[in-house]
Copies of this chain bind each other. A is one copy, B any other.
Amino acid sequence: MSAIENRLADLGITLPEPPRPVASYLPAVQSGNLLMVSGQIPFQDGELLANGAVPSKVSIDLATAAARQCAINGLAVAKSALGGELERIRRVVRLGVFVQCDPGFDAQPAVANGASDFMVEVFGDAGRHARAAVGVNALPLDSAVEVEFVFEVE
């Protein structure tokens, strides 16, 4: 097992089967050394972890857990795109975090930390990344959170 696989095992995390392409887009595309992973929503065992707007329908804590699940799913997609070899990931470059929320909600960074902290737990300093976190009024399947990823890979 690679160091990263060991780290995931230490964290008690089993990466899920990555989502299959359901349209004309792909879960991930590599160009040069950049691996772009499509926007992930917090599926866990086939169901979304959180639906609706933060905070009226979804608490900040639940949304943060959902952002972490998005990151788990994004890593599963990256692993699949890299032929199962997570050690080909050199670093996390960028996260784009969209939080479905009520107007005036201003704690998107706290929610986004669910995804950001996961990357650092798994990759250490190589998990630290640039990030944009914003609020939106609606997301696919009424998900509370969507996260997209750019990894640097070899």
Contacts and interface: CB of A to CB of B under 8 A. Distances in A.
B134 A29 contact: no
Specify how many copies of this chain sit in the oligomer. Answer: 3
Residue picked from A25, A29, A102, A148, most chain B C-beta under 10 Å: A25
Contact of A128 (B26, B107, B116): B26
Contacts of A29: 91, 93-94, 128-130
B139 A25 contact: no
Contacts of A119: 24
A148 B98 CA distance: 14
Interface residues of A, number: 63
A104 interface: yes
Given A26-B129, A106-B141, A106-B142, A134 B93 contact: no
A36 interface: yes
Contact of A127 (B24, B32, B143): B24
Q: Which 9 A-B pairs have the closest CB atoms?
A: A135-B138, A39-B132, A24-B116, A25-B131, A36-B130, A24-B120, A106-B142, A132-B148, A137-B137
